[in-house]
Amino acid sequence: MLILASTSPYRRQLLERLRLPFRCLAPGTDERALCGERPADLAGRLAAAKAAAIALAHPQAWVIGSDQCAELDGHVLGKPGNRPAAIAQLQAMSGRTVDFHTAVCLRRGDQVLAAADLTRVRLRPLEPAAIERYLDAEQPYDCAGSFKCEGLGIALFEAIDSTDPTALIGLPLIALAGLLRATGHAVP
């Protein structure tokens, strides 16, 4: 049995690409950063915590936990939640490079495998009208960084530097496929 420790529709859609049967369960993990915790460490800790929370109740299942943190100037950019916060995030990122730390953890009982990805996104300079038009079109209020790179958000960028394009959406499938193969899953 394979379980995705997430209710994110984005992660579910990504995992469906691997054509393995799985189910989704909410891990109920507290996602607040610890005092002084670096964004990359936060992503790794939360991915592991999500997998552990579900693995505890399902010891025979392989559980996938994943988390992503956007970082600008050493600070975590969370999900904006609303339009004013999204405007503020996009204005802050305009013409700058933002790091996205994405971690994945695969766990069954005491067996734990993990991987991480760093994706750098360089946004073009964004005029206020462009930000408004984008938010009117896509409302990415549930996405770290206030954009959906798999949608119209791609028009906000000058470049993406990544070894795994799915990591920016929230689940690094290249790394995950390797972890799954290492545990005996038949991934094409």
> One of 67, 73, 136, 164 is an active-site residue; which one?
67
Closest CA to 6 of 70, 65, 81: 65
Beta bridge partners of 108: 111
Helix (H, G, I), strand (E, B) or coil at 64: strand
Report which of residues 105 and 151 the model is more confident about.
105
Q: What whole-number distance in Å separates Cα of residue 56 and Cα of residue 23?
A: 16
pTM to 2 decimal places:
0.91
Longest dimension (CA), the chain: 52
Residue 181: its H or E element: helix 173-182
pLDDT of residue 96: 97
Q: What is the percent of the chain where pLDDT is above 70?
A: 100
pLDDT at 188: 82
pLDDT at 38: 93
- Indicate the domain borders of the chain: 2-182
Alpha carbon distance 36, 4 (integer Å)? 29
Active site residue 110: no
Q: Summarize pLDDT for 75-112 with one digit per residue, the tens.
A: 898 889 999 999 999 999 999 999 999 999 999 999 99
Q: What average pLDDT score do residues 22-32 get?
A: 94
CB contact at 8 A, 9 and 140: no
pLDDT in tens, 125-141: 999 999 999 999 999 99
CATH 1.10.540.10 fits 2-182, yes or no: no
